[in-house]
Amino acid sequence: MAQTQQSFVNKKDGPIYISVEIWPECFELEPGDKLTLIWDAPDKEDAAQVDFVNDRELVVWPNGEIDDMQFLINGEPAGDRSWVFKHK
């Protein structure tokens, strides 16, 4: 396994929502925010599958050792921002 990171940037004019399964964790990103996931992914498989629910929601299914996954928003630890939404 190799440490992998994947980032998602909100370039929309309003919030977007990214769920990370299997936990689930869910993050609201304001315009310009960047969510970065860091974890140990398999060497010879897809690191993650991304399912688009609609134009403002997506679900990420990471593969590998995900118990110690790090969540960063704009480079800062973001675990405490999961399920904390400003918008409804």
Return per-residue pLDDT of the chain as tens, 88 residues: 889 999 999 999 999 999 999 878 999 999 999 999 999 999 989 999 999 999 999 999 999 999 999 999 999 999 888 987 887 6
CB count within 10 Å of CB 88 equals 4
Domain carrying residue 7: 2-81
- Whether 14 is in a domain gets the answer yes
Q: What residues contact 7, with CB distance under 8 A and at least 6 apart?
A: 34, 35, 36, 37
Structural domains of the chain, count = 1
- Whether 86 is in a domain gets the answer no
- Whether 25 is in a domain gets the answer yes
- Whether 87 is in a domain gets the answer no
Give this prediction's pTM. Answer: 0.91
- Whether 76 is in a domain gets the answer yes
